Every structure is written in structure tokens, then in C-alpha cells.
Amino acid sequence: MVVVVAVGQPLTLWWRTSRAKGSFPHCKRDSIRLRVRPARSVLVEAEARAAPTLRVRDVDDGSVKVQIYQGGDRTDDLQAEARAMARSANASVYSPQLLVGKYGSRPVKVIRRTLKILIALGSFGLKLLVDQRNGVLNQNKRLRAAELRRVFTRLGPTFVKLGQGLSTRPDVCPPEYLEELSELQDALPTFPDTEAFSCIERELELPLDSVFSSISPSPIAAASLGQVYKAQLKYSGQVVAVKVQRPGIEEAIGLDFYLIRGLGFFVNKYVDVITTDVVALIDEFARRVYQELNYVQEGQNARRFKKLYADKEEVLVPDIFWDYTSGKVLTMEWVDGVKLNEQDAIERQGLKVLDLVNTGIQCSLRQLLEYGYFHADPHPGNLLATPEGKLAFLDFGMMSETPEEARFAIIGHVVHMVNRDYEAMARDYYALDFLSPDVDVSPIVPALRDFFDDALNSTVSELNFKTLVDGLGAVLYQYPFNVPAYYALILRSLTVLEGLALYADPNFKVLAASYPYFAKRLLTDPNPYLRDALIELLFKDGKFRWNRLENLLIQGKKDRDFSAKDALQPVLKLLLGSDGEELRTLVIKEAVRVTEAFIWGTVIDTYNSMPNFMRALVVNGNATGPLVMSIAEQESMIELRDQVFRIWGLLRSSESFDPALLQPILQVLQQPEARNLGGRVIGGITQRLAARLLQQVLRVPTTASASTL
């Protein structure tokens, strides 16, 4: 017997024996001879600590071939992905120059398509106008909604995507239109199954029956760019979804984008009210759509999305089967579930729509503000509620990224909105890349103030996200703003999620559901931008706002990843840093004020617990009680003390609370800077208590100067 081992690469062992096939487990060790030689296959990437996998197969000449992959399944997966990438090497990429070269010399085709679009949409608009004049606009809503769906379907994928976006906005479209347009998600016309099966065989270079033991004879869903079949893999029995691209889709989308881009140039040149670079937005959207045409890219998007966000038990992302994936065929794990806008079906499974929507919002916040890689097309057909209560994300063709600086600027923008600091809000637009550094933001401040002072009459959490977007949009149009493409996709993503939530609860507010995440990030993130935003939120006019801290802790505790220990670290680091002198001064003042509140609050409580005859002896006829301070001042001290107790209780009730979280404070107090800080605090407390005691002895009323350091 001879064993051949390939070291450092997939190990190939040849085991030759005179026994019959299948007798491999009974071979004796002393019948093995070992020889080392390089393996033919190349290891693309291996996990350092992955357990090796062993595969055995018989060979016709009586040998048994054993393959050991040190990288485990991860290595196989990467090799299969590399093969899939090779199959998609000729996938189309969006290029405005190529579109101009292709369609600029074909005026007849361009004019024909333009007329088709104008006639279809124009005739629909004319019918609405006639209905309005005849007073039957409401009676014909269902009829016109079905007609609009058919118009979008006839006009092709570009307009189907427009209809998909409208189908998730109950605050924009009447219910009749929502129901009709929702059919655009997965009830589009199909193309012949023979073409789909031929495409699979052509792309995978394998006969259909060698890949699947069974496949649905007709598609179970038809999307804008392709249609989906349910199948079972022959080698494993795994149930999968097989998406096959529509024939001729590149030609149809390319012509539409050529026309839309030409319209964008017209808008940029002649429509002054729109200051955004419309062509840049169209190019960004077109690039995303062309990426959707490359199913290998979509599979890679899914893999990255799963790695970043499927660590939460409530989120499900299906696996990709790379050996059966190419530029026009995508094979992925089958997911059983119900679309997120089918409320009745979800509730029949014992699930709550709002719980799933909240999971989607929390995941989206992580996408937008934590890693910056986000799903830009979360319509109901792409979000499923599984029977286990998980939220499954599907269709990863349209993805986008938020720049790192913008992620922190968005969180800071929310803080400035809460504080109604409109000057800071205006300056945020530099970091968000809305304005060039040479633009003066001072004229923008009054416009922001006029809108938000009216919108924030109650609280930010009660503000509808669409109202916020519309209001900001009105401001943006008045000034030289240039809205980045990524931001437009963010707005689309969040408005779609809010639209989904409104199906279950018309009063749902995305901002309210987002508060726990924002609070957690502000309290725990050490990023300098967010650390400064937290201090800005907590301090005002040199005074600490304990009610803001209490509210942040209440909201932050609702986030499952909140850690009480982490909440202390950012402020501690800044407090002892070289640039923390201003904060140290504020902390000293607040420490003195809190200590005084504890001492005199205890005195007041002791006095209130005394019998009446003892009180009379203590006050000795003083109408204000034992202390020379007003009733309002006494109540203020007690409230401050009780608020600090409540905040401590919130920290202690955190699941991650550990008395050891105070250890950093003790370590800090041993540092020279901290000892100096502690001395200043003790000196301030001593000074304040001495002043108070002297007032009691001399019975001098408290003055304004006595209450400050």
C-alpha cells in the first residue's frame, strides 16, 4: 500500500490494497508506506485553526482516494467561489461612455423607447385628470392602481423597481395602490422555463439532472431581474433557491439608463430648484443595478453581510452554493418564511410584526452606523419572517456603504437635533459632505430653526421619519447642498422600513425605535466625535443635565448589547486626558453640587422623620425649618440626590453590571492627575460646606453667589 501526502496544501492520500472496494476501514497500519509530494490543487485560503476534513472515494483501478483538506469547509468554499468568479468574468459593468457609444448611434431605437414611456405614463396621467374632473377619482382608485401596475410591468425592470419602492409607502399611496403595486415584488410575468433551464446548463456547464435531483417545473417567484425556482441538490439533498436572470435584461436596462441619464443632464442644466447633481445620483443607482446583474457579486455581498450582521440570533442570511453559481445563476439556501407586510399570516404563526420590524431597524442601524455596509433594497419581498421568529434578509444585489466620517456625523447630527443646536447641525453638513468647506452655513441656520422648532414641539421620538426627511429636503433645496449618493440610499432604506412598520402600526416612529441604539453608542463608543457629542448632550451652560443621563441609560438598557462597564470608559479617558481640563472643571463643580445634595438631603430627611416636639426644639421658631434655604432649593437638592440614586440603580440593574466596573475609577484616582482632581473636589466640597454651616450659624439667607464656586 502507498500513501501520498501533499504537505501544506490539501492532502491527497492514495491507499492501494488488494482487498475489494469498501474495505478501507479494515486496512492494517503496517501495510502503509508514506511518500510526500506537492498537491496539484492550490489552496486559495485556509483557516489557521480549522479542523481538517476527510473525504474518501473509490477509484476504478481498485485504489481508494482519500483527500484531507486542512482548511476544512472554508477552503472548499473559497475554491468554489474562485471558480464561480471565473464563470462570471464577462459580466457587464456600468459605463456611461459605453452606453453613449452603443445607443448614441441608434436614434430610431432611442426614439421608439422614449415614445413608449411617454405614451404609457402620459395616458395614465390623462385618465387620472379625467377622473378628477368627472368627480370619480376615489371610485376608480382600484381600477387605476391595477392599470399603473400593468404600466410599470410593461415598461420593464427600471419602472418595476420604482413601483416596488412606492408599494412600501402607505403614507404616500392609497391602500388600493399599495395592494396592486405590492404584486410587483414577486408576481411579475415569467419567461419560458426552457430558456431558464438552458441558461442554468450553459452557465454551470453541467446537465441539469446532474446538479439537481428535482427542480420546480415553473418559477415560484418572478423578480424584476430574474425568476426563482425551488430545487434539491443532487449531491446533498439540500433544498435551495435557484435564481436565473431574465434574457435580454442588460439591453433593456442599458437603454433605460441612457434615456434617464440624458434627462438628468437636462435637469442639472435647466431646473434650478434642484441643486443636487442628478446625473451623479443616476450613475450611482445604475452602478448598483448593474452589480445586481452579476449574481456572483450578489453572492459575495451576501457572504459579507452574513459575516457582519448574522451574529444576532434574530437575523438569518442564507448560505450561497458557489459550485452552482455564476454571473446569471445564483443558488442559495432555501428560506421558509412570510413576507413582512403579510401581517395576518405572521400573526397566525404566533409572531408579532413590530418585533420583526424592530429587529430590522436595529440591524439597519448597525448596517448604516456601525460597519457602514448596508442593504439598500429592503422591500417586503426581500424581508421574510421565518417560523422560528427570525428576520431573514434576501436579495443582496443592491448594497451600499456609508463613509466612516459620515457614520459618526449622523449620530452627532441626531444629538444636535435633540439639543436644538442648529449652528452645530449646519456645521455637520461639512462632515456629511453635503457642503464644500468654502460655503457659509450661517444663512442655513434660520431655516433649520424654523423647521425644527415647529417639528419638535413634543419630542424627537414622536417625529415621523418621513416628516423629517421632507422638512430637511425643503431646506436642502433652498441652499447649495449636494446630497451624496450614499445618503440618498440611506433615506430610501429607512423610509422603506418605516413604511413596512406602518402596516402594523400607523403610529409607529422609526426615530423612537432607534433611540436605544443611539443611546448605547453615545454611552459606550470611545470615538472622539461621539465622546464629544455625549459631553455636549450632558453639559449645558456649565451644568450637568442628570435627566439627560438618566434618559440615555433608560434607553440604552433596551439595547441588548449595552454594557454598564463600557459606559464609564469614554468619559473617564477624556476626563484624565491632556485636553480634558475644561471637562475636569465642570466635573468638579458637579461633584461638589452632588455631594452637597447628599449631605443636606440626608439632614432634611432626618429632620422630617423627627417627632414634632423635637422639630420645634431644632428650628427654634424658624419658619423655614432647620436650614437657611428656601423650600424650592431643598426640593431641588432632594430631587438631584434621588436622581443620582436612580441612575446608580439603572447601572446596577444592567445584566453586565459588575462591582469591578468601579475598579477603573480606583485606578484612575491613583494617578497624579487624578489625585490633583480629587484634591480639587475635596477642596470645593469643604468650601461649600463651610459656607453653608456659616449661613446656618449666622442665619444668613442664601445668595446667588453662595451657590456657585
Catalytic residues: 377
- Quote the CA–CA distance of 21 and 205 in Å, as a whole number: 31
Nearest to 236 by CA among 303, 328, 334: 334
Q: Is the CB of residue 332 less than 8 Å from the CB of residue 302? A: yes
What is the Cα–Cα distance from 64 to 160, expressed in whole angstroms? Answer: 55
Unique residue bearing C-alpha cell 434578509? 393
Q: Give the DSSP per-residue string, 96-118.
A: HHHHHHHHTT-HHHHHHHHHHHH
Cell numbers found for residue 64? 481508494
- Note the maximum CA span of the chain: 114
- What's the CA gap between 183 and 223, in Å, rounded? 10
The neighbouring-strand residues paired with 332 are 241, 320
Cα torsion 389, 391, 394, 397 to 10°: value is -170
Dihedral angle sign, alpha carbons of residues 301, 303, 304, 306: positive
| Cα first-last separation, the chain | 91
Strands 3-5 and 34-36: parallel
Helix/strand/coil percent split, the chain, to 5: 60, 10, 30
CA distance 422 to 443: 11
Question: Residue 204 and residue 80: Cα distance in Å, rounded?
Answer: 12
- Give phi and psi for 544, each to the nearest 5: -80, 135
The closest of 256, 272, 283 to 162, measured between CA atoms, is: 256
CA distance 433 to 483: 8
Comparing CA positions, the residue from 183, 142, 134 lying closest to residue 160 is 183
DSSP strand pairing (391-393 vs 315-316): parallel
Q: Residue 227's beta-bridge partner residues? A: 222, 244
Alpha carbons 531 and 408: distance in angstroms, whole number: 10
DSSP state of 24: G
Query: How many residues in total does the chain contain?
Result: 709
CA dist 507 and 331 (Å) reads: 39
Alpha-carbon span 180 to 147, nearest angstrom:
9
Q: Where are the beta strands (DSSP E) in 113-271?
A: 212-215, 221-222, 226-233, 239-245
